[in-house]
Amino acid sequence: MSSDRWLDDDAGPVVRPYTVTRGRTRLREDGLDLISVLEATGVAVPRRARLDPEHRTLLALCRQPITFADLASEIDLPIGVVRVLVDDLRDENLLRALRPTSTGDVPDEFVLRKLLNGLRAL
């Protein structure tokens, strides 16, 4: 059997996404959106953790806070695969999603409408 069928000259090696995720497609209920900020927790990788090279690459990229969109653009995998791998890292407590901080009270709808009407009058 020739290994040529697993190599595309333009695209590189052909590997199905389910191979990288070991067939997993389910995520936590609190799915990540593209603007979620991710950061490595600094916790040592447990011996029982089965981290593939893709997991380790994602973890290294998250040493500094990074949005999920930026993270996904840095690795050559489909976004769905990146979601599953990030979820694996979160399950191992190696990665966390940072929650946005409150910036204060939300403006009143009345104030926003007055502002919009004032802008339109210009």
Q: What single string gives the DSSP state of each residue in 43-91?
A: PPPPTT----HHHHHHHHHTTS-EEHHHHHHHSSS-HHHHHHHHHHHHH
Question: Helix %, strand %, coil % for the chain, to 5?
Answer: 40, 10, 50
Domain count, the chain: 1
Whether residue 22 is contained in a domain is answered as yes
Average pLDDT score over residue span 91-117: 79
Q: What is the mean pLDDT of the chain?
A: 79
Minimum mean pLDDT among 4-18, 25-39, 44-58: which range? 4-18
Whether residue 2 is contained in a domain is answered as no
Whether residue 3 is contained in a domain is answered as no
What is the C-alpha to C-alpha distance for residues 66 and 69, in angstroms, rounded to an integer?
Answer: 8
Whether residue 1 is contained in a domain is answered as no
> At 8, phi and psi to the nearest 5?
-115, 125
Look at residue 1 in the predicted model and tell me its pLDDT: 44
Domain with 94 in it: 8-121
Whether residue 83 is contained in a domain is answered as yes
- The position carrying tokens 């995520």 is 27
Whether residue 111 is contained in a domain is answered as yes
Its pTM stands at: 0.65
Whether residue 38 is contained in a domain is answered as yes
Name residues whose C-beta falls within 8 Å of residue 108's C-beta, 6 or more positions apart in sequence. Answer: none
